[in-house]
Structure 1
Amino acid sequence: MLLWFPTPYPDELLYSVFARYHVRSGNTSPKITTEELFGTRSIRSVWDFPANLNILLKRLGPFWKTDDLILKHTLFPYYASFLLPKQAEKVKNSMITTKGSTIHTRIGVAASNVKQKINLWVCSSCIDEDLDAFGETYWHRTHQLPGVFICPKHETVLEETEVSVKANNQHEYIAALPSVERKKADLGDLSKDDISLLLRISKKSKKLLDGNHLQKDNNTIRNKYQILLKQQELASISGFVKRERVYERFSSMFSDCFLNLLQSPVTYEETNWLTMIFQKHRKSFHPIRHILIMMFLETDLDHLFDKEEYLPFGKGPWLCLNHTCDKYQKRSVTSLTVTRCYNTKKPVGTFYCKHCGFVFSRRGPDSEYTDQYTIGTIKDYGATWKDRLKTLVIEENGLHSIAKEIRADIATVKRYAAELNLNVSWVPPKLNTSSSKQSTEETDAMLLVQKERWKELQQQYPEKSKTELRDLAKDVYSYIYRYDKEWLKVHSPIKKRLISTYQRIDWELRDNELLKQVKETVQCWDQEATKPTRITVSAIAKKINKLSLIQKKANKLPKTMKYIDKVTEDIVEYQKRRVEFLVQKKKENNEPIIDWEIYREAGLRSTVSSEVKRLIALRVTEYESSKKC
């Protein structure tokens, strides 16, 4: 056990603590220091993600905790927030154990287009502050983060030292000194607005580093982005991202010079990071790019990691706006269907009150408090309103008096009185059923409401047959029958004579059977094809003739869907497989492997991702090397 070890300073790199230990111990060789810390001389000095921490802690004693070292004195929290959950856990375990060689690959640093700083950086104001407080200075974690060129505390430009993070001697420990050679970051080409954005980047990076945010699943962040995009009308209600609008707004917010400095340029391509970060996350994206997206969508870490739904009409229950209902202006509406307006693309909410049958809609989102009292279109006045109309007519109230009482215009009162065959004192209108035409979105919204009502009837009267339910709600039945007869067949009670033969579906058994079928299909994928086809959910489902089942019952097939999610390809993975297929074919035919031929025959543009380009270059190099031998 070590008799002495420096107490880490706030935001100090663990590497810096080791360097201070090395200086104070008076060791003539860094390998002696390494042996004292880890019990062996073979461990390298790593500045960002040190490993073998379990060995170090055993030598330090019981007062030191693994999480304190990892979360407060390494760069782990900065990267872990945006890693896939299993990825983050593996990286942390690698730091604790002896698997340090895998960390940079697991975390994505090695292959990332956003490169780390090549030297250690300092803030002159921080150095002065450290000397006053502690009598010495040290390497601060925050100053070493990619994209951080301004000190978030003092708001001064950082300075790059000549101390390389990739020193020739990989066992060396170099302590921070006030006299260290350094030069200020060159921000000459940036505008004042860009520099202001850089300061925001620094502060958000610092907050990310000081936190401990972890994703709950692979798409926690992506799902939150979807909600924010919808709220800012950058995605449709169904989640389709409006790429052109996103790129236009993003480019107007961040200049090319600014994005190039952060190693995050944008081009309007499918494989550009700005497109892929909003898609299903099969890989992690660099934190600096997530910070850019947070700034773009005007959100922060705390909000990003909270669970929040897209609620264009607020959280239910909602107000019933039927004046004849005893729940009028009370939160009694629990059924809301959200669709999209065809013309404006804005959300349309269709509200249904179960107490009175009143159905109305309005275009959203609700932005003002008074919006919740607004009716856009009345789809169905409901049984309570119609009963009140009957009563008022029987009591021989006048037309204007009735209209005022039930809050409807005179034409509406006349029309409904005629439809209900009421004996009225006024001249009834001539009903023309063909003149009333709903728009497509109105029909769809109303259809969803009526389907919901049909399901509720079945829950309320589980013993009744389809015919008996129809008699209870003829308007509901006729509407669904008119617009979606097939749905009505599927979602109606089974005939009583068939009940005895009906068996519940064993979904677990079906899931296992389907999983086996899917695995066999994927294993034999493209065996008989002349060229690769992309592995997608719909492609797999079509091959096994189960498209409808997988689309409609995915939630009942967890094992199958988990496997499908694992094997399906994004565009980059598919392009790489096309390249490998073509290279293998050329090898079998003893044809030369030439890069431009690969691009042409694989149907690839010159704008493909760097991953695909590197793969092609690698295969061409391997071929040329084999020919030289």
Structure 2
Amino acid sequence: MIGCFPIPYKDEFIYSILARYNLVSSNGSEHITSNELFSRPMWEIKMDLFPYAKKIEMKLEHFNFYNAVEIIENFSFFNYYKKLSGNKDYFQSLMLEERPGRIKNELYCHDIEIYNAYYYRFCLKCFERDSENGVPYWHITHNLPGVTYCEKHQCKLVSSDVKFNGKKLIALSNQVKISELPLLNDWEEKILKLISEQTVYLFYKKDSTRDTNTAYISYLYESGYLKDFALDEKSLTNDFMLFYSDSICKIINIDKKYVISTLIRRIKEAATGDIHPLFHILFLIFCGKKIKHLNENNQLTIPFDSDLFIEKTCKCFDGFFIHNSTLRFRKEGLIGSVKCSCGNYYGIESWNMKIEVRYGEKFTEQVGELLFVEDLPISEISSKLNISKSDLKNYLISRRNSARY
């Protein structure tokens, strides 16, 4: 039975907790510690997608330590990866079931570890503060993909000589060798600060975003990359490649051509939930947006003539937002739809530009109330519900016909 175990600090990375335990234990090596905690060799343990939280929970249950879900949410990269994932519950189940390979293969379709820094990073000012308050430790937010600045102190991080996901458990101390990250020009440093800021914001963001695809098509339209309802892939690729310099890409370990080609493919497939979070952040910064703009209550600019919708929508319709709008590419062009709070659905296809209407239960109740209770004529009902008399008659005929069967 484990006799003592470190109490985690705020923003402490699971690697740091394990390294501090290895230091104070009598194990003598990380390989003994790894076998003691996980019954696995050290080289198999991945710290970013930490799939051994259940084992930690069971080993430390006599301490009333954090449970498995709390461990992955507080001390791993789980929050970073799940916030923009289309299937966060499935993501969590894979981590708790000790299946890191399936996270990479099924959710991201490529090796996501290549976007981690090669060596652990830390902030010298945080090091000094943490040493005064207790002991220095490796912070999660200093080691998320793409982070080169400390959000708290707004200073550039330094790189250590401790390999990320390496075979050693090394606690942060004065013995760790450091090297400074390359200093770029003012514009490039501004971009690196934005990437760091948005990454930390994403990590601590409370809610998850379900549909980034619609927002991204809207942003492409605002930026001028949608022409005749088709994506101008060549211009988008060229501009993206120019926006991110080779120096920035080298520091954050990305191939910008692969990033933009992946973004284009996933947006066209309506599969942006499968994009690496760093790709999301790079795309948003390129479009002049931030993660906060993906809030479901934010308004959208749609590529279609909004007057076409307004003519057909009911009076309770309050506009186009991320939570009620959908934009998707199809081979023929672009399709768009919006759902009103009353349940009515309005769809349009770019190749015929006609609004398709499907009425919800609330609309049916309203028609019934006005027609059978208040006994109003068709003309007055259509005026109250913002629907043409012919459309209302067609709706009533379709309801009557469906009731027969």
TM-score relative to the length of structure 2: 0.68
Indicate the residue corresponding to 1:294 in structure 2.
284
Cα separation, 2, equivalents of 1:125 and 1:288: 25
Q: How does 1:491-530 map to 2 (within 5 A)?
A: 491=394
Letter in 2 for 1:288: L
Indicate the residue corresponding to 1:141 in structure 2.
140
CA offset at residue 114 of structure 1? 5.1
Of 178, 197, 202, the match for 2:174: 178
SS of structure 2 residue aligned to 1:163: strand
CA offset at residue 73 of structure 1? 0.8
CA gap of 1:36–1:60, structure 2 versus 1, over 3 A, is same
**RMSD of equivalent CA atoms:** 4.4
Indicate the residue corresponding to 1:225 in structure 2.
216
SS of structure 2 residue aligned to 1:183: strand
Letter in 2 for 1:185: L
CA offset at residue 26 of structure 1? 2.7
> Contact 1:2–1:59 (CA<8 Å) still a contact in 2?
yes
SS of structure 1 residue aligned to 2:196: helix
Indicate the residue corresponding to 1:130 in structure 2.
130
Of 287, 296, 310, the match for 1:306: 296
1:506-545 CA-to-partner distances (Å, cap 9, x unmatched) read 8xxxxxxxxxxxxxxxxxxxxxxxxxxxxxxxxxxxxxxx
Cα separation, 2, equivalents of 1:351 and 1:6: 60
Cα separation, 2, equivalents of 1:113 and 1:24: 29
1:70 aligns with 2:59: no
SS of structure 2 residue aligned to 1:160: strand
Cα separation, 2, equivalents of 1:99 and 1:351: 49
1:272-295 CA-to-partner distances (Å, cap 9, x unmatched) read 134224323447122111111221
CA gap of 1:144–1:110, structure 2 versus 1, over 3 A, is farther
Cα separation, 2, equivalents of 1:50 and 1:350: 47
Indicate the residue corresponding to 1:409 in structure 2.
none
CA gap of 1:157–1:448, structure 2 versus 1, over 3 A, is closer
1:84-109 CA-to-partner distances (Å, cap 9, x unmatched) read 30xx4344223323434544444538
Larger Rg: 1
Indicate the residue corresponding to 2:82 in structure 1.
80
1:272 aligns with 2:271: no
Q: How does 1:242-281 map to 2 (within 5 A)?
A: 242-244=232-234, 246-247=236-237, 250=240, 253-259=243-249, 261-266=251-256, 272-281=261-270
1:141-184 CA-to-partner distances (Å, cap 9, x unmatched) read 122222222222223332222222353xx4x4222222211211
Q: Where does structure 1 lack aligned partners over 5 or more consecutive residues?
A: 313-337, 341-346, 355-364, 366-443, 464-468, 474-478, 481-486, 507-629
> Contact 1:81–1:215 (CA<8 Å) still a contact in 2?
yes
1:225-245 CA-to-partner distances (Å, cap 9, x unmatched) read 123334455436x96434455
Indicate the residue corresponding to 2:192 in structure 1.
198
> Contact 2:119–2:159 (CA<8 Å) still a contact in 1?
yes
Cα separation, 2, equivalents of 1:204 and 1:339: 30
> Contact 1:150–1:157 (CA<8 Å) still a contact in 2?
yes
TM-score relative to the length of structure 1: 0.46
Letter in 1 for 2:202: L
CA gap of 1:213–1:260, structure 2 versus 1, over 3 A, is farther
Relative contact order higher in (CA < 8 Å, ≥ 6 apart): 2
Letter in 2 for 1:302: K
Q: How many residues align?
A: 343
> Contact 2:54–2:67 (CA<8 Å) still a contact in 1?
no
> Contact 1:127–1:178 (CA<8 Å) still a contact in 2?
no
Cα separation, 2, equivalents of 1:185 and 1:228: 32
Q: Equivalent pairs: percent with the same residue?
A: 21
Cα separation, 2, equivalents of 1:90 and 1:287: 17
Q: How does 1:15-54 map to 2 (within 5 A)?
A: 15-38=15-38, 40=39, 42=41, 44-54=44-54
> Contact 1:122–1:140 (CA<8 Å) still a contact in 2?
yes
Cα separation, 2, equivalents of 1:349 and 1:101: 47
Bigger mean CA deviation after superposition, 245-254 or 72-81: 245-254
> Contact 1:152–1:206 (CA<8 Å) still a contact in 2?
yes
1:153 aligns with 2:152: yes
SS of structure 2 residue aligned to 1:162: strand
CA gap of 1:193–1:56, structure 2 versus 1, over 3 A, is same
CA gap of 1:291–1:492, structure 2 versus 1, over 3 A, is closer
Cα separation, 2, equivalents of 1:34 and 1:353: 64
> Contact 1:227–1:309 (CA<8 Å) still a contact in 2?
no
1:432-463 CA-to-partner distances (Å, cap 9, x unmatched) read xxxxxxxxxxxx99x979xx9xxx9xx79999
> Contact 1:231–1:310 (CA<8 Å) still a contact in 2?
no
Q: How does 1:529-548 map to 2 (within 5 A)?
A: none
> Contact 2:37–2:59 (CA<8 Å) still a contact in 1?
yes
Of 208, 212, 223, the match for 2:202: 208
Cα separation, 1, equivalents of 2:396 and 2:148: 67
> Contact 1:53–1:97 (CA<8 Å) still a contact in 2?
no
CA offset at residue 69 of structure 1? 1.5
Q: How does 1:412-561 map to 2 (within 5 A)?
A: 491=394
> Contact 2:122–2:158 (CA<8 Å) still a contact in 1?
yes
Cα separation, 1, equivalents of 2:246 and 2:404: 57
> Contact 1:148–1:202 (CA<8 Å) still a contact in 2?
yes
Cα separation, 1, equivalents of 2:404 and 2:163: 64
Indicate the residue corresponding to 2:56 in structure 1.
56
SS of structure 2 residue aligned to 1:144: coil
Indicate the residue corresponding to 1:315 in structure 2.
none
Letter in 2 for 1:72: N
CA gap of 1:351–1:301, structure 2 versus 1, over 3 A, is closer
SS of structure 2 residue aligned to 1:279: helix
SS of structure 1 residue aligned to 2:150: coil
1:106-140 CA-to-partner distances (Å, cap 9, x unmatched) read 45385359532222222222222221121x21111
Letter in 2 for 1:69: I
1:483-506 CA-to-partner distances (Å, cap 9, x unmatched) read xxxx99x959879xxx8xx66698
> Contact 1:160–1:185 (CA<8 Å) still a contact in 2?
yes
SS of structure 1 residue aligned to 2:47: coil
CA gap of 1:126–1:162, structure 2 versus 1, over 3 A, is same
1:164 aligns with 2:163: yes
CA gap of 1:60–1:351, structure 2 versus 1, over 3 A, is closer
Q: How does 1:231-380 map to 2 (within 5 A)?
A: 231-235=222-226, 240-244=230-234, 246-247=236-237, 250=240, 253-259=243-249, 261-266=251-256, 272-282=261-271, 284-308=274-298, 310=300, 340=305, 348=307
CA gap of 1:25–1:191, structure 2 versus 1, over 3 A, is same
Cα separation, 2, equivalents of 1:287 and 1:206: 11
> Contact 2:117–2:143 (CA<8 Å) still a contact in 1?
yes
> Contact 1:49–1:74 (CA<8 Å) still a contact in 2?
yes
